[in-house]
Structure formats: C-alpha cells, structure tokens
Structure 1
Amino acid sequence: MRHPLALTVITASTLLLAACASPPQPEPEPTAGAGHGQVAGAAEVSEPPLHLLTATTDGRLTLLDLLSEEASGLGRIDAPLTTATDGRYLFADTGDGVEIVDSGMWTWDHIDHFHYYRAEPRVLERVPGHGTARVATTNSSTTGGTGIFFADGEAVLLDTEALSRGEVVERFRVRIPEHDGYIVPVGDHALVTTGEGAVQVRDRDGTVNGDPVACTDPAGTLTTRVGAVLGCRDSVLLAVAADAGTAVERIALPEGVAAPRVWANREGRPTAAGLSPDGSIVLLDTRERTATALAAPRPLIAVTAVDDASEHVLGLTVEGRVSVIDGATGAELALTEPLVAASLAAGRTPTLIADDRRAYLNGIAERVLFEIDFADAGRIARTFATIDEPAFVAETGR
C-alpha cells in the first residue's frame, strides 16, 4: 500500500547525497562475498538510497524515500519496545522475540569507494526469545553476524549473509546465566558477556575461543570502522577482527569519568560519542585508541558523533533542541528551536541520527520528521509531517 506523507518542505533544493571521502589511513577491509555486497534480486544504483523507516508503538511501518519524498506503508509487526538498525534492517524487540524488517536499501563499504543497492522491502521471520532483547550489529548488511541477547540469558548470533537473502539462520544459540548481557558480533566471531564480570570470544559455532576478558558492568555497544566497542565500568573494550581471530584491546576512560551507557555515531566512522552519567560528552576514537571528555555546553539527553572534518558532535537537549557542538573544544556552534519539546514533555524520547550531510530527528508527539543541516548553523532543511506517530525511526540505505 502506498500513501503520501503530508510534507512541509523548507527548501526547494534537492538533497544532494554523496559518499564520504576516503579515510586518511587504511582500515581493515570488510569481508564480503562476490559482487561487493550484491544480493540476488537487488539493483545497484548510483547514489545512496537513503530512507527513513518508521514504526508506531503498535507496529505500523512506513518507509520514506528521502530522494523522491514518497512514503510507502510496509504493513505491521508486533508492538516494538525498542529498535536497532545496521543501516538496512530494523530489529524490533517486542518483549518475546525480535521482529526483523528488511528495508531493501543498503550501502556496501569498500573503503576507497562504495556500492549502493535497492531491493524490495519485506518483513522477515521473527526470532523467538523470552524477555527484552539487546541487538548488536556490524556495519555490513550482507556478511558477518547480528547478535541478540535475551533477558533470560539466551545469546543468539544470526547469520547476516542469510538475512540478506531473506532467511533467518542462527549460527548459534547458547544459554548464559541471566543478566543484562550482550552478544557483540566481530567478523565471524562474537563477544559474549558471562554475567560474572567477563567477556568471552566465541567462534561462529559458539565455541569459546581463548581466555575470558575482564569487563565489569558491561553497557553500550557499537561497531565503528575499526572494530566493535563494548563499554565496561571503567574502560571500553575494542574487538578487531584479524586473520588469526579476534583481538581484544582495552581503552581507558578519562580519570573520574564513568562509561556511557549508549554510544552513537555516523555509521562506520572511527569516533563514537556517549554521555557519561555526570553529563559530560565522551568521545571514543577507536583509530587512535583514546577516550576524551568534554563538558557539555548545556544539559543533554543524547549525543552522536558526526566524525567529519569539522569534528561535529550533535546533542539533543532537555528542551528538545538540537545542539551542534565542536568536538575539539566542546563549544556550541549552533542551536535549533525546541523541535521535540512536546515529545519530551509526554515522556517520549526521540532518536537523533547523523549521516555525512544531514541529521534526522523524529518528533513523536509532534508527528514530524526533521531533517537538519548541522553544517549550516543547524538549519532545518526539510520537515515531513506524518499521519502516525513515528515512535521509532532508522535511517536505511547508508
């Protein structure tokens, strides 16, 4: 079913999209099958097929094409509690399983160039499980694994290559003592928390590989261009896939700064941002293996690292504004009007997303999707009025 979103377009200019420049030094090349991320039935296109995939609290799905500004209804899933994305799929935790929505849009990163693909969107088979779930992804939508840790202690590693063909295949499912845990994919392996202050490296069949690595109070995971991140109480683990297996390194946090519970960045970049419990911004540079803290220019509830030449960091303030911050100094460069004040007043927390050109913010109570040009003094480039509340949002095609 197709229906148009009501649109209020702030600028008449077409949104120009381009792949980001090559990094200043080489990173480990992603593993990929033949065809550079090609999947049977998908069409290669000349530019990133960027879309916003939204879900309502009762599971109604809409896919908004950011080039054509057309929206398509994708049916519905069970009511989500939380969602996660890898830039292609939406993983929706429903409390008794994880629903998987394939947007059919993805980018394959070949380090010095990119390949872009479009296919038909679809809802895939549900992954069964008990209790709430944490989902951890990589930056590849066609290779490697996707981790799901259920509250009852079951850790599941999905085969992402199979997902790209529309098949839900579990590489392994293991029972761990019940705790607030994680299973974090790293190449063909995965980090799995034990519930006893440590992390194991497991092979693709679930076999434990090597000695456990200490990690008290694990919280917050993200995959950067360099490797997979998992926060611990006083440090951060960085796991990097290598020919000999998975190498796990420890990055110290600044003295007196507690680990953020959430990390976010422009997908695939080396630097991630998180908010420490004391309100400071922590920037984790996985290329340099360093973590630094910046005083936030005002109280924030979420941050994300754009990690561009200008070192932009974006923050969502407690008043519902978007703050554009200098990642080198912590100075505030721009501040929007209160965009999502009504959502925050209603106890709803929007999602702030960044890519290389724009940021996106879902006004849930406002029923508006905001597109923000953070490099142009936080200018609101476009707004998209929605019929339903966009309670959850993911940018796909990146």
Structure 2
Amino acid sequence: MSTSATALPTAPARTAARRRRSWSAAALLGAPLLALAACGDGGSSTASSSAAPSTPAAEPTSDVAEVATATPRLVVTLEGGDLAVLDATTLEPVADVEMDGYLRINDAGDGRHVLVSTTGGFRVLDAGTWGEPHGDHSHYYTSDPVLTDVVHPAETPAHVVTHAGRTALFDDGTGGAVVVDSADVAEADPQARTVESGAAHHGVAVEMADGRLVHTVGTEEERSTVVLLDAEGTELARTDECPGMHGEATAADEAAVVGCEDGIVVVRGDTLTKIAAPDAYGRIGNQAGSEESAVVLGDYKRDEGRDSATEGPERTQTVSLTDTAAGTLTLVDLPASYTFRSLGRGEDGEALVLGTDGALHVLDPAAASITRSVPVVEAWEEPDDWQEPRPALRVHEGTAYVTEPATREVHAVDVVSGEVFATASLDGVPDEVVVVSGATPAVPDGGAPVEGEEHAEGEHDHAEGDHDHAEGEAHDHEDGDAVAGRR
C-alpha cells in the first residue's frame, strides 16, 4: 500500500486541517481487531405523529468515563457476521460483539448509536461515545459498546436517512417510514412522525429542517413517484417522472435530491424539479451530499439492458455532479471505475470517489474536475455479487476511512494532505463501515449545542446501489432484494 499522494498541500494547510479536527496524527501499527455487532401507483401519502413501538431499552452500562472532547468511533461489519468497533482517531480496537448473518448498518444520527438491519427491524447498537449539552458547552463521555434490546419494527428494514436532527427509517416491506428525533433513537417508544405510501416498495424518506418531508411512492414492480409534504402532512408537490427512483442526499440551503434512471429530482423549497440525464438511460442511484456545497455527487450508469446476473455489474468510470441551485447536471470521467460504496464528501464539500485503481480521487464540485488523486489501497476489481465485500469509503470531518478486504485492513486518510496516518488489521474481512461522532446530538429545530470544545479551566466540554447515511449522505447498495433489507 502506498501512502504518498500525487498532490500534497503545504505544511500549514495540513496543520490547519488537523487543528480543525483536534486529532493526533500518530500512526498506528496494524492492531488485530475483534468482531463487534452493534446496520403504490396512485398510492396515498399520509403523515401523522405517534409513538413508535419498539422493544425495551437495555440497562445502562456502569463503565462511563468523562473525556475531554468528543471521541469518534468506527463500526465495521465483517463478512459472515460480527462487527468491530474501533477508536476513529487511532484505529485501536475498542470492543467486539458477535452477531450472525449478512449485516447492514447505518448511522443513527445522534453521534452515539448505530442501527443494525436485522429480522424484525432496526436494532440499536450503543457505540459507547456521546456528548451532553451543559449551558454553552458540552460534556463528553465514553463507555463499552453494547448491543441494546431496542428494535424499531420493520418488515424489511432498509434506508436510514439522518438530517437536521431527525432520523427517518424506511420499511420496504410496507412502503412506509417513521421519523424520530435523532436524540431519541435509542428510546423504547420515541415520539414519531409516520408516513404511509400505500404499497410496499424499495423507497426512501427524508425530513428537512423546517418539517417538509420528501418520500417515495411505488410498488414492488415499479416506482417512479416522489412526493413533498409540508410539516403538517399536506402535499405540496408530486412528480411521477422518476422511473426506478433510488437513493437521496441533502445539500446546502436545505436542498435535496432523489435519483432516477433518467436523471435526478431536485427538492428546493416547495417545488420538485426533474433534471434530465444527457442519455436516455442515465441512472443516478447513489448520491453523496454536503452542507458545504449546493452540488451533489452521484454515480452514473448508461447500460440499461445489462443483465448483472450473467454479465456482472456495469463498471462505470463516470460520476455525476448535480448543482441543486443552478439546476444543472454535469458528468465527469474518472481514470478508474468505482462502486456504490465509493462515494463521499470532504469537510469542505470536496467530492470524493474511491476508485478500483486504489486511489481516492478528490474532485472540486464547482469546477467539475479532479484536483488530486491519493493512493490508498492496492488496485482491486468490483465483485459480481453486490453483497461481496469491496473497498468502502466513509468520511468524518477531515478523515476518509477506507476498508481493504484483500488485506483485512482499514485505513485512515487525511483528505487534505493525502497522508494515510493510521492502519488497523482486522480479524475478519471488512464490509460496511459507519462513523459515530461522539458529539452532542443536533437540535431538530436547527439549533445545536456547542461542539468540540476542549475541557479547559472553568470549561467543560441501500445490480445499482445505495445505502450510507450521515448528514447529507445517501445509502449505498445495489438495487434489488437482499438479506435484512433491500439493497
């Protein structure tokens, strides 16, 4: 593995990036990790508030320790079952939890918990790191991770979308969703907003900061409708012009997108606008957004008639950049192909793509061009089966986390400098990865407690894919049926 970059910034730029994160840059020798578990046509659209039934919460742990600042942790699923929990700064192992089967995980949105898609619904994993507001600052704590008994019911748990302090859980088995305050996601019976679409389908929902809610309507055979509701559940807009809809992301100024097989639908204010792809079939099924940019990064596939079961997946080398403010869609060709787990966004809104050439390609979304390419892992080839592990990308603040199944490793990369500053060896083959921030949860009305303060004197501190979600990001996976939820 190479740790050099094709373009390195100046030393002051690296120092500034590290200071923003308040992280140590100490490298880590590969540390063995243990496994841990804690991931219809004409249908009606209704929304209401109610308590979301779930199983009882687990007893709190007694190993709580106060720490000086937020302590992010990494949760990684391993092939065949189990999850590993690591310290996200050093990649040292924290804990392991055993769990059987093909596991899918999602960030719960509160900086502490992870949602594991399992039989019966979304099970809550406490990653053991969190913040609590205290006046004009926060206190931060850590404890041992624990797989709780809380399960948010779902026939087929699928997409989880977090945005503006709210978490939306979509059930493909019913076509409905529940939306709760992210801070309440670990509660047994949180107050919830419910959304019904009328029929089971592989869909998605996201609530905006002002209470507007975007959700999909479809059937198991066909899905092409996107609906926008106001905070009270009254329909504001609807479009049926999004065939094969899949995936979503949010962007600057409270914009959002939903991907289609022939372009993308942009949500701005009370309107839905379809931006057509330059090709008759131009599928944008996975997206990654950023609060720092009006431009949404997406994949782009042109081969409409491809039978992935017999021909393998389309190994595209083109990505899409949708400007939600200007209403434009631009395509960029890359030097290598990528997969549905390859998209991410940097701390300043950079568009990041992990290529099969082993490099992390950094794009300027405004200029629609590659600014640098950072070698991270060895070259690899996309497997034919979407459930087979492949290198995955997850970004937290200024660090990109990249898994390398071939070597059973995970790497931490400084996005600005290109330095691979930590690497850990795992006890199994890594698959999905999620970061929990350990920060104080955002307030749903748009306000948020102070984050990242040092504890000083007198102070305290889802064939085409989609399925990853942090703020502004979308799920990553291929389209179709999957164990523990649709891909």
TM class by shorter chain equals 0.7 to 0.9
Cα distance change of structure 1 residues 331 and 268 upon mapping to structure 2, 3 Å threshold: closer
Greater relative contact order structure (CA < 8 Å, 6+ sep): 2
Give the SS at the match of 1:218: coil
Query: Are 1:97 and 1:130, in contact at CA under 8 Å, matched by a contact in 2?
Result: yes
1:86-106 residue CA offsets vs partner (Å, 9 max, x unmatched) = 553322323652223243546
1:180-216 residue CA offsets vs partner (Å, 9 max, x unmatched) = 22222334343221216322335678x5534533342
Residue 373 of structure 2 aligns with which residue?
334
Is 1:231 equivalent to 2:259 in the alignment?
yes
Cα distance between partner residues in 2 of 1:267 and 1:114: 23
Indicate which of 394, 400, 408 corresponds to 1:353.
394
Paired residue type of 2:329: A
Cα distance between partner residues in 2 of 1:118 and 1:226: 32
Cα distance change of structure 1 residues 298 and 69 upon mapping to structure 2, 3 Å threshold: closer
Cα distance change of structure 1 residues 365 and 128 upon mapping to structure 2, 3 Å threshold: farther
CA displacement at 1:52 relative to structure 2 = 1.0
Is 1:148 equivalent to 2:176 in the alignment?
no
Is 1:282 equivalent to 2:320 in the alignment?
yes
Residue 74 of structure 2 aligns with which residue?
52
Cα distance between partner residues in 1 of 2:66 and 2:162: 21
Indicate which of 94, 109, 129 corresponds to 2:154.
129
Pairs aligned (count)? 354
Residue 452 of structure 2 aligns with which residue?
none
The aligned runs of 1:218-257 (5 Å cut-off) are 218-227=245-254, 228-239=256-267, 247-250=270-273, 252-253=275-276, 255-256=278-279
- TM-score norm. by structure 2 comes to 0.60
Paired residue type of 2:180: D
Cα distance change of structure 1 residues 156 and 53 upon mapping to structure 2, 3 Å threshold: same
Query: Are 1:17 and 1:48, in contact at CA under 8 Å, matched by a contact in 2?
Result: no
Residue 239 of structure 2 aligns with which residue?
213
Query: Are 2:121 and 2:153, in contact at CA under 8 Å, matched by a contact in 1?
Result: yes
Cα distance between partner residues in 2 of 1:73 and 1:182: 32
Cα distance change of structure 1 residues 45 and 340 upon mapping to structure 2, 3 Å threshold: farther
Cα distance change of structure 1 residues 331 and 171 upon mapping to structure 2, 3 Å threshold: closer
Give the SS at the match of 2:163: coil
Residue 226 of structure 2 aligns with which residue?
199
Cα distance between partner residues in 2 of 1:162 and 1:54: 22
CA displacement at 1:221 relative to structure 2 = 1.0
1:146-177 residue CA offsets vs partner (Å, 9 max, x unmatched) = 23132x23312131346355335343263622
Paired residue type of 2:421: A
Cα distance change of structure 1 residues 252 and 154 upon mapping to structure 2, 3 Å threshold: closer
Residue 4 of structure 1 aligns with which residue?
none
Paired residue type of 2:262: D
Residue 422 of structure 2 aligns with which residue?
382
Cα distance between partner residues in 2 of 1:234 and 1:43: 51
CA displacement at 1:219 relative to structure 2 = 1.1
Paired residue type of 2:122: V
Cα distance between partner residues in 1 of 2:295 and 2:146: 32
Paired residue type of 1:179: H
Higher mean C-alpha deviation, range 222-231 or range 250-259: 250-259
Query: Are 1:269 and 1:307, in contact at CA under 8 Å, matched by a contact in 2?
Result: no
Residue 455 of structure 2 aligns with which residue?
none
Indicate which of 353, 359, 384 corresponds to 1:315.
353
- TM-score norm. by structure 1 comes to 0.72
Query: Are 2:346 and 2:398, in contact at CA under 8 Å, matched by a contact in 1?
Result: no
Residue 431 of structure 2 aligns with which residue?
391
- Aligned-residue Cα RMSD (Å) equals 4.1
Is 1:72 equivalent to 2:74 in the alignment?
no
CA displacement at 1:382 relative to structure 2 = 1.5
Give the SS at the match of 1:191: strand
Cα distance change of structure 1 residues 268 and 220 upon mapping to structure 2, 3 Å threshold: farther
CA displacement at 1:129 relative to structure 2 = 2.4
Give the SS at the match of 1:146: strand
Cα distance between partner residues in 2 of 1:155 and 1:233: 22
CA displacement at 1:230 relative to structure 2 = 1.4
Cα distance between partner residues in 1 of 2:266 and 2:137: 25
Cα distance between partner residues in 1 of 2:360 and 2:395: 12
Indicate which of 408, 414, 433 corresponds to 1:373.
414
Paired residue type of 1:159: V
1:320-358 residue CA offsets vs partner (Å, 9 max, x unmatched) = 443344542534622416437388599422321223422
1:376-398 residue CA offsets vs partner (Å, 9 max, x unmatched) = 3x332211112233322112207
Cα distance between partner residues in 1 of 2:270 and 2:98: 40
Percent identical: 18
Query: Are 1:53 and 1:64, in contact at CA under 8 Å, matched by a contact in 2?
Result: yes
CA displacement at 1:282 relative to structure 2 = 1.0
Structure 1 unmatched ranges of 5 or more: 1-8, 21-39, 241-245
Cα distance change of structure 1 residues 61 and 312 upon mapping to structure 2, 3 Å threshold: same
Cα distance between partner residues in 1 of 2:327 and 2:346: 15
Cα distance between partner residues in 2 of 1:204 and 1:293: 35
Give the SS at the match of 1:54: strand
Query: Are 1:354 and 1:360, in contact at CA under 8 Å, matched by a contact in 2?
Result: yes
Cα distance between partner residues in 1 of 2:241 and 2:408: 41
Higher mean C-alpha deviation, range 192-201 or range 168-177: 168-177
Residue 313 of structure 2 aligns with which residue?
none
Query: Are 1:58 and 1:78, in contact at CA under 8 Å, matched by a contact in 2?
Result: yes
Paired residue type of 2:125: V
